């Protein structure tokens, strides 16, 4: 499969659960991103990885923990989330030095 793939597409979890979101890209890109999309808010940049190294943490609470084991995979580990963390989490990739972001279709997270 080509492009940026995110799993799961939908996730419901309790506040005490631990879960992970996965992102995989088959575009040969070396930069990967996590964005949070909430209703009536801008797309919020959470984390940026360039060549597997985290280069941006946009003041994200520690209950969100990213992991980038290689340039093709990106995870977002979730634990003790709050209901206000319910949102669509979008992964994106790009080639460093190029402008276009390629997004996945997102993981819709609901925290009960």
Partner 1 sequence: GENVEQHPSTLSVQEGDSAVIKCTYSDSASNYFPWYKQELGKRPQLIIDIRSNVGEKKDQRIAVTLNKTAKHFSLHITETQPEDSAVYFCAAKVEYGGSQGNLIFGKGTKLSVKP
| Unique residue bearing structure tokens 């990967």 | 32
Provide the 8-state DSSP code for 62: T
Q: Is 69 in the site for partner 1 (CB under 8 A)?
A: no
Q: Which stretch binds partner 1 (CB under 8 A): 19-27, 60-68, 73-81, 92-100?
A: 92-100
Q: Is 42 in the site for partner 1 (CB under 8 A)?
A: yes
Q: Annotate 85-99 with b (16+ C-beta within 10 A) or e (fewer).
A: bbbbbbbbbbeeeee
Tokens of 71: 């340039």
Q: Is 53 in the site for partner 1 (CB under 8 A)?
A: no
- Which residue from 1, 16, 40, 84 is in contact with partner 1, where contact means CB under 8 A? 40
Supply the minimum distance, in Å, between the C-beta of residue 80 and partner 1: 27
Q: Is 4 in the site for partner 1 (CB under 8 A)?
A: yes
- Among candidate residues 76, 78, 69, 79, the one with its CA nearest the CA of residue 92: 76
Contacts of 64 (CB under 8 A, 6+ apart): 46, 76, 77, 78, 85
Q: Is 103 in the site for partner 1 (CB under 8 A)?
A: yes
Q: Which stretch binds partner 1 (CB under 8 A): 14-22, 62-70, 78-86, 104-112?
A: 104-112
Chain contacts with partner 1 (rule: CB under 8 A) = 4, 40-43, 45, 48, 56, 90, 96-97, 99-101, 103-106
């Amino acid at each position: 499969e080509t492009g940026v793939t995110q799993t799961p597409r939908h996730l419901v979890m309790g506040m005490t659960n631990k879960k992970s979101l996965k992102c995989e890209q088959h575009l040969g890109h070396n930069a990967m991103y996590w964005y949070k999309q909430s209703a009536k808010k801008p797309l919020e940049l959470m984390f940026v990885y360039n060549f597997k190294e985290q280069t941006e943490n946009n003041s994200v609470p520690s209950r969100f923990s990213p992991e980038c084991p290689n340039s093709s995979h990106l995870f977002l580990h979730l634990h003790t989330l709050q209901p206000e963390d319910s949102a669509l989490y979008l992964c994106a990739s790009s080639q460093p030095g190029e402008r276009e972001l390629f997004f996945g279709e997102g993981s819709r997270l609901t925290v009960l």
